Amino acid sequence: MSAKEKVILAYSGGLDTSIIIPWLKENYDYEVIAMAGDVGQGEELDPLNEKAIKTGASKIYIEDLKEEFITDFIYPTLKAGAVYEGKYLLGTSFARPVIAKRMVEIAEKEGATAICHGATGKGNDQVRFELTVKALAPHLKIIAPWRIWDIKSREDAIDYAQARNIPIPVTKKDNYSMDRNLWHLSHEGQDLEDPWNEPQYEKLLKLMVSPEKAPDRPAYVELEFEKGIPKKINGVEYSPIETMNVLNKLAAENGVGIVDMVENRLVGMKSRGVYETPGGTILYAAHRELELLCIDRDTLHYKDIISQRFAELVYFGQWYTPLREALSAFVDVTQQTVTGTVRMKLYKGNCMPAGAKSPYSLYSEELSTFGRDAVYNQKDAEGFINLFGLPMKVRALMLENNKEK
């Protein structure tokens, strides 16, 4: 008798993946091996080992991916200044490829023939998981239950779980779709599906306080960067994980990092979500202030174009592509002088710059002062404007000449 083929399941212990283990057992003759990637979910991971085995998995891997997640995915995206549609700091987007990468590694170790995930056919995560698998292990089969089973809603999924006595972390009355990691916590579904509804922050927020409940006095934080990477907070050097933990706590206490947005999913529809990204909000704002100080105008403006494309690649699940790698190489060159210290002021949901300095600063007080200076000849501006505006002047003269005819 030949051994069963193995499938590696991306396992979170949430509603969807909780029911996928028995579903796979009922519909496929596979040995199911669960894999949970620890990207900072915290206590959510504690019961997974026992739960996965009880619901039918032959074994479970719980992989600590936190530092790799920060250094290999968050930091390159931070340096790029990538923000999807001007608001979303990509918290779920760049967590998927690091998890899928480890799934592929485990599949190779276990000799598995298939990968399975719990992403729905309406979402972006299915693309992110599967493009990573295609890029790293194109021979692996991919099983996506939400695209083929009879379950059509979260309510159906809850019924399926209850019928099999599978413990799940949500009920029909409280079933926001949430995703948590070191960078953020996302919320979708329920009352958020109507964009006119104001989010019930007192009920919704898990990582932070609302701005209304933040302290009445501002908090200040100083961040030191080296080549675009955060190294110290208030003069103290921290590891990447410690950096996120310290900034998350500080921002959360001051109500900093809430984003409510309607975004364009890759599959074509718009969706509405609320994101808690406390520490990440500080990092993005501080990093930008340092770039404004240290990067020349032409490079900075061109990098802004790159940033938008980079954000799309991350959001679309195209991390393992030549274009993303090429853009990261460009970004790394721009970051060679992004070294210095930024002071940020946090107050009731606001994150404001309160000072920046760098040995690579391109700011010259002598040049920009409104007072008397000896280095800038204001008369030079006349010739500059005449030449810079010459094409406009020539066109205007042409239009005047034709108007007279």
125 belongs to the catalytic site: yes
Question: 37 labelled as ligand-binding?
Answer: no
Of the candidates 233, 229, 232, 228, the residue with the CA atom closest to the CA atom of residue 338:
228
Q: Which of the residue ranges 140-154, 301-315, 351-365 would you say has the lowest mean pLDDT? A: 140-154
Mean pLDDT of the chain: 94
The token duo for 67 is: 């530092």
Q: Which of the residue ranges 117-126, 148-157, 240-249, 340-349 would you say has the lowest mean pLDDT? A: 148-157
Question: 263 labelled as ligand-binding?
Answer: yes
332 belongs to the catalytic site: no
Share of the chain above pLDDT 70, in %: 97
Q: What is the pLDDT of residue 155?
A: 86
Residue 101 neighbours by CB distance under 10 Å: 21
**Under a CB-based contact definition with an 8 Å cutoff, are residues 31 and 112 in contact?**
no
**231 SS3 class:** strand
Identify the structural domains of the chain with CATH numbers, from first to last: 5-66+93-176 (3.40.50.620), 180-357 (3.90.1260.10)
Share of the chain above pLDDT 90, in %: 80
- Widest CA span of the chain, in angstroms? 95
Of the candidates 86, 106, 95, 78, the residue with the CA atom closest to the CA atom of residue 6:
106
Q: Which of the residue ranges 71-80, 150-159, 349-358 would you say has the lowest mean pLDDT? A: 150-159
Segment 174-179 mean pLDDT: 78
> Which residues, in sequence order, are CB contacts of 207 under 8 Å at separation 6+?
180, 185, 248, 252, 276, 278
Q: Which residue has the higher pLDDT, 61 or 163?
A: 61
The token duo for 107 is: 């599949």
164 belongs to the catalytic site: no
Question: 171 labelled as ligand-binding?
Answer: no
Summarize pLDDT for 21-74 with one digit per residue, the tens: 999 988 988 999 999 999 999 888 888 999 899 989 999 999 999 999 999 999
Active-site residue identified among 38, 96, 324, 358: 96
Q: What is the pLDDT of residue 43?
A: 85
Active-site residue identified among 38, 125, 271, 324: 125
Question: 181 labelled as ligand-binding?
Answer: no
**224 SS3 class:** strand
pTM of the shown model: 0.93
Based on C-alpha coordinates, what's the Rg of the chain? 25
Q: Strands 177-180, 236-237: parallel, antiparallel or unpaired by DSSP?
A: unpaired
Segment 258-277 mean pLDDT: 97
SS (H, E, C) 22-65: HHHHHHCCEEEEEEEEECCCHHHHCCHHHHHHHCCCCEEEEEEC
Question: 128 labelled as ligand-binding?
Answer: yes
Active-site residue identified among 16, 102, 179, 307: 16
The token duo for 61 is: 């891997």
Summarize pLDDT for 346-399 with one digit per residue, the tens: 999 999 999 999 999 999 887 777 776 677 788 999 999 999 999 999 999 999
Q: Counting beta carbons within 10 angstroms of the beta carbon of residue 155, is it exposed (0 to 12), middle (13 to 18) or buried (19 or more)?
A: exposed
Give the H or E element holding residue 239: none
Q: What is the pLDDT of residue 389?
A: 97
Residue 319 has pLDDT above 80, yes or no: yes
Active-site residue identified among 154, 177, 180, 358: 177
The helix, strand and coil proportions of the chain, stated in percent and rounded to the nearest 5, come to: 45, 20, 35
Highest mean pLDDT among 14-18, 46-50, 327-331: 327-331
Summarize pLDDT for 207-250 with one digit per residue, the tens: 999 999 999 999 999 999 999 999 999 999 999 999 999 999 99
Of the candidates 254, 365, 342, the residue with the CA atom closest to the CA atom of residue 291:
342
Q: What is the pLDDT of residue 44?
A: 83
174 belongs to the catalytic site: no
Residue 1 has pLDDT above 60, yes or no: no
Q: What is the pLDDT of residue 251?
A: 98
Q: Counting beta carbons within 10 angstroms of the beta carbon of residue 180, is it exposed (0 to 12), middle (13 to 18) or buried (19 or more)?
A: buried
Residue 2 has pLDDT above 60, yes or no: no
With cut-offs at 50, 70 and 90, classify the pLDDT of residue 174: low
